[in-house]
Structure 1
Amino acid sequence: MPGRQNPTFRQRRLGAELRKMRERAGLGGSQLARTLGVSAAQVTQMESGKTSVSMDRLQTIAAACNCDNQLFIGTLSGISTRKKGWWERYRHQLPDTLLESAEHEDFATGTIRHWASAIIPGLLQTEEYARGVFNRHLPPVPADELNLRTSFRLERRARFLEDPRKKLEIYIHESSLVTRYGGTAVLRSQLHSLIDDTAGEAVCIRVIPFAAHTYPGPIENFAYSYGQVPELDTVEMEASTGPIFYDSLNELESYRRVLDRIEKSSLDADESRDLIHHTAKTLKG
């Protein structure tokens, strides 16, 4: 049976975890293949997300790798049997890179910590602000696709914020509060929306002010999501060609340290809220 040509984020992540499980056990692909009674090529297909992995097969792999972390194995079983998500309605209409961000957000089971240096993160964007962001693309996005991208982004926002399991910690530089995607009126409305978003407990926004000498993080925007088990934490780095995902333990630890340093450089939540309100009030143009 031919493998998938374009495995999704979730399928690739399941395969990556199987590979890491095998490597921790000190097994080569051929060794595991002999234990499973399959070809080495089939093991490669599973570990690249190109072949489905049944619950029984997953349990057999875990036993062969001497993995007895039942919470971790159970979480992987949930990934392997997961039904298609809401974003699949947009498949073949929007770039797969946009769908992968939504799938990553759905994959997270707790808090997502997001750093952005010069833009309001997508999960908190208003409709007109999102249009302003998409309109900066060169070459310009066709009108039909612009409408579809905007609708998709708003659905991402709504579904995430409606999920009681999830929380959002946003860290932004003050430059994000004055960069006018869509114009001054659009930005002012966006800032008021941020104030409304922080009224509850699901969203916390922290701002690094211009007065800070520097900020201890990358220029690129990234999100750190917490999984059901620590092994399934994920970092999503934004890039012009689409998101790049990191999941090795060393990479995850590095980004946690970066976020902790960013947090120490930020105003607290109340001070940040006051700054956003003041900026919205004093915008000119």
Structure 2
Amino acid sequence: MPPSPTVPLRQQRLGFELRKLRERAGLSSTAAANLLGGPQARISNIEAGRYAVSADRVRTLARNYSCPDEAYVDALAAMTGGRKRGWWEEYRDTLPSDLQDLAELEHHATALRVAVTIHMPGLLQTTEHARAVMREAVPPLRSYEIEHRVSHRVKRQAVLFREPPTPYRALVHEAALRMGFGGPDIARAQLGYLLEMSEQRTITVLVIPFGEAGFPASGQPITCATGPVPQLDTVVLDTDHGCEFLDAEAQLHRYRSVLNRMESRALSQEKSRDLIQHIAREL
């Protein structure tokens, strides 16, 4: 297959996982190519995500690498088909590539768990709230850039309404509830929408209140996208310079622990709703 001009995040991850399997088997790329019956460059291109690969070839590589984990191999085989493009590709020329990668990751996740301290969870933002937040960007965004980003964010929210919906668990610090982006009316509507969404069967909103002793996070938004097997989870850090995608085992373990500790400081669902309602009445 010819190389893809733009490598989808999912295809990159598949290549990375195949490289990990090869290295764990103690094989060089040349030795792996010999087992496959092709040039060494083919292995390098597959592992770099430059070439799409079939499910059968993934299974052959996993067999050559003596991988005993059938569930993991099945999950890798399901990641093939890298030439298929999702709705996010229409924004490829207008928005940063990491936003397309984020949408792709959310689309394929089996569950999403997020933690925020200043902004509302992206998939639970109203259009007006999202627009107000983006007006605060530095350097400033042009009006059409804001509208592209708002449109993209709204389309990302489709994972919460499809059938079956993606389970979504949001840890929201009280600070985010009180920021008031856009003024009282927009802030009040945002809190109302957060309450409405928290009533959905597959959406959980837990508030971490002021006054909790200690806080096990740096303050940057964290998203953990659950894969079909734990090895294929991904953590996304929302930084000032864009999204950072983490998938090394040590990184996954660390941020799972951070999210667990944050959740241990959160109120129950009922008390979280009570606090959201209380703050909305104060506006």
TM-score range, shorter chain: over 0.9
Secondary structure of 2:239's partner?
coil
Shift of 1:5: 4.6
Deviation (angstroms), 1:158: 2.7
TM score, norm. by length of structure 1? 0.93
Deviation at 1:224, TM superposition (A): 0.8
2:153 counterpart residue number: 153
Q: Which runs of 5+ in 1 are unaligned?
A: none
Indicate the SS of the match to 1:220. coil
Q: In the alignment, is the contact (CA less than 8 A) between 1:235 and 1:246 conserved in 2?
A: yes
- State the match for 2:254 in structure 1: 254
**Residue segments in structure 2 that go unaligned for 5+ positions in a row:** none
Structure 2 counterparts to residues 136-285 of structure 1, below 5 A = 136-283=136-283
Q: Tell me, in whole angstroms, the C-alpha distance in 1 between the residues paired with 2:129 and 2:81.
A: 37
Residue 105 of structure 1 contacts residue 160 of structure 1 at CA under 8 Å; is this kept in 2? no
Deviation string 1:19-78 (CA, Å, 9 cap, x unpaired) is: 111122122222212212233332222111111112232122111101243322222222
Q: Distance in 1 between matches of 2:260 and 2:200?
A: 23
The farther-off stretch of 63-72 and 165-174 is 63-72
SS of the residue corresponding to residue 216 of structure 1 reads: coil
Distance 1:190 1:163 in 2: 25
Runs of 4+ aligned structure 1 residues displaced above 6 Å come to none
TM-superposed CA distance for 1:102, in Å, is 0.6
Measured after TM superposition, the shift of residue 118 of structure 1 is: 0.8
The question of whether the paired residues in 1 share the 8 Å contact of 2:124 and 2:157 is answered with: yes
Give, in whole Å, the separation in 2 of the partners of 1:90 and 1:229. Answer: 29
Matched, 1:78 2:78: yes
1:138, distance to aligned residue in structure 2 (A): 2.3
Instruction: Give the deviation of 1:240 after TM superposition.
Output: 2.0
Aligned length: 282
Q: Tell me how far 1:149 sits from its aligned partner.
A: 1.2
CA distance in 2, matches of 1:272, 1:137: 29
Per-residue deviation at 1:137?
Answer: 1.3
What does the per-residue CA deviation read over 1:263-285, in whole Å, with 9 as the maximum and x for residues that have no partner?
Answer: 111111111111001001102xx
What code does the residue aligned with 2:101 have?
A: E
Q: Is the 8 A contact 1:198 1:205 kept in 2?
A: yes
**1:107 corresponding residue in structure 2:** 108
Q: Distance in 1 between matches of 2:48 and 2:270?
A: 45
Secondary structure of 1:16 counterpart: helix
The letter of the residue matching 1:71 is A
**CA offsets 1:148-202 (integer angstroms, 9 cap, x no match):** 2111111111333334242111011110001122222111110000000011211
2-structure distance, mates of 1:70, 1:81: 20
1:243 alignment partner, SS class: strand
CA contact (8 A) 1:106 1:160 kept: no
* Aligned-pair Cα RMSD in Å: 1.7
Cα distance per residue 1:91-124 (max 9 Å; x no partner) = 2122212111111101211x21101111101110
Percent identity among equivalent residues? 38
**1:79 match: secondary structure:** coil
Q: Which residue of 2 aligns with 1:131?
A: 131
Tell me the TM-score normalised to structure 2 length. 0.94
How far 1:2 sits from its partner (Å)?
6.2
